[in-house]
Homo-oligomer: A and B are copies of this chain.
Amino acid sequence: MAAFETLLSPVILFFVLGALAAAARSDLSVPEPLAKSLSLYLMAAIGLKGGVQVAEAGFTPQLLQVSAAGMALSFALPLLAFALLRGFAKLDRLNAGAVAAHYGSVSIVTFVTVSDALTRSNMAPAGFMVAVMALMETPAVITGLLLARGQGAVAGGSRTKLMREVLLNGSVVLLLGAFLIGLAIGKARFEPISPVFVTGFTGLLCLFLLDMGLIAMRRLRESRALSWRMAALGVILPLLNGAIGLAVAALLGLDPGTGAALAMLAASASYIAVPAAVRLALPDADPGIYLSMSLAVTFPFNILIGIPLLIQLAPLVLS
């Protein structure tokens, strides 16, 4: 029932509309600057909301625990992915490492969508999860590079550039920056900007997911690089990683909403920030593989199946 409810939300239906339009080869398209603008908006909005919530709720030791757990997951999950990509999908070391980096990292859009769905099911995740997400974005890149290349991975000159790309990545900076601003201003000073960042949120998310549906389906149609084994891993990895995330959440004693959000961060794969970093650090890896797996398989799977599933499971697993 709750799962069905989630699928009938306008946010998801716009994603489906985009996917169907692309599948039917309609020329519907969202201008690229609008897509980028909406993603900036969504990051600023969730950063702010998270910060304001933490300003209200106060700092708790849980915040540090979950941050540590999130970063550990981001470092460690690529190992599992790498093993399966090598063993099951028969990818070479380079491409397996590149893909693994994406699965250790997170998808901001998936997080935003699950938060929205959880909030509507009265299981709003804790505000600090935004910061946890920002912290989980980049450790996976390091593991992925080491797996792909071994220690001497990146040449001296480009190492600083890569570290900058990874640590000062626009989305990390905006998410953490907006989180800190939310923390600093608190609820009262947030009032004047809440019409844009709260009231407008779900509606704009619809437009963004319309575009994501178009993009994901177009990539699926174009993806020659994808074998069925890779496609299968695009479904298996989020299930495995999500289960691990849920287990960690249970160990930490998180509430259902916060735990579900952590599980979805584990389950999701990056397709915005990490591809840019990996293109720089592992230019020989094939972008067709990592983009298609994370964006065209795992992302729709998480939106259409992962989120409803999680909304059913989380209250059961996390008391």
Residues of A within 8 A of B (CB): 8-10, 13-14, 17, 20-21, 24-34, 36-37, 40-41, 44, 48, 120, 164-165, 168-170, 173-174, 177-178, 181, 184-185, 189-190, 192-197, 199-200, 202-204, 206-207, 210
Contact = CB atoms under 8 A, between A and B. Distances in A.
A31 B120 CA distance: 32
A13 B190 CA distance: 12
Nearest to A172: B26
B44 A181 contact: no
A303 to B, nearest CB: 15
A207 B177 contact: no
Contacts of A9: 185, 189
Contact of A17 (B181, B185, B200): B181
A37 B31 contact: yes
A195 B200 contact: yes
Contact of A8 (B20, B165, B174, B185): B185
B173 A8 contact: no
Contact of A10 (B25, B120, B181): B181
A170 B27 contact: yes
Given A17-B173, A197-B203, 19 more contacts: A10-B190, A13-B184, A17-B174, A17-B177, A20-B177, A21-B174, A26-B170, A31-B33, A32-B33, A33-B37, A34-B37, A120-B192, A192-B203, A193-B203, A195-B195, A196-B202, A196-B204, A200-B200, A200-B203
Nearest to A196: B203
15 contacts: A10-B185, A10-B193, A14-B44, A17-B173, A17-B174, A21-B168, A21-B170, A21-B173, A26-B164, A26-B169, A28-B173, A44-B207, A44-B210, A120-B192, A195-B195
Contacts of A34: 33, 36-37, 40
B8 A184 contact: yes
A31 B202 CA distance: 22
A33 B207 CA distance: 15
Contacts of A28: 168, 170, 173-174
A122 to B, nearest CB: 14
Contacts of A177: 17, 20-21
A35 B169 CA distance: 20
A206 B44 contact: yes
A134 to B, nearest CB: 13
Contacts of A207: 40-41, 44
A202 B206 contact: no
A44 B33 CA distance: 18
B10 A189 contact: yes
Contacts of A27: 165, 168-170
Contact of A25 (B168, B193, B210): B168
Contacts of A30: 37, 40
A62 B10 CA distance: 27
A206 B33 CA distance: 18
A43 to B, nearest CB: 10
